[in-house]
Homo-oligomer: A and B are copies of this chain.
Amino acid sequence: MGKPSDLLQGTLDLLILKTIGLEPMHGWAIAKRIQQISNEVLQVQQGSLYPALHRLEQQGWIKAKWAESDTGRQAKFYSLTAAGRAQLTKEQESWSRLSAAVNLVVEGA
């Protein structure tokens, strides 16, 4: 029924890749950052976030390294690989194409 829908399905990978493309970041911070930049519109649940990170890492698009967060704790910092940068470009293009197409229909050009 109503899923209030915290995200647009299929865009999470793009959001993550874009976010850590700007600067390496740990999972918790990625979620916060996406939420903040989107003016609290996009809410990334942990049950979506961590599986997505593992998925992306397994596909070789991001890699993790343990380091100290700015609160002084250990956290897993993710950064883009070369393949990840390529994938980001692909996903950006795909998003542009598809969202523009939806807008064509919605706006009844």
Contacts and interface: CB of A to CB of B under 8 A. Distances in A.
Interface of A: 5, 7-11, 14-15, 18-19, 22, 34, 37-39, 41-42, 92, 94-95, 97-106, 108-109
A38 B105 contact: yes
A105 B18 contact: yes
Nearest to A91: B106
A92 B34 CA distance: 22
A10 B9 CA distance: 6
A94 B5 contact: yes
B102 A14 contact: yes
Contacts of A105: 15, 18-19, 34, 37-38, 42
Nearest to A19: B105
Contacts of A10: 5, 8-9
Contacts of A38: 101-102, 104-105
Contacts of A92: 106
A6 B5 CA distance: 20
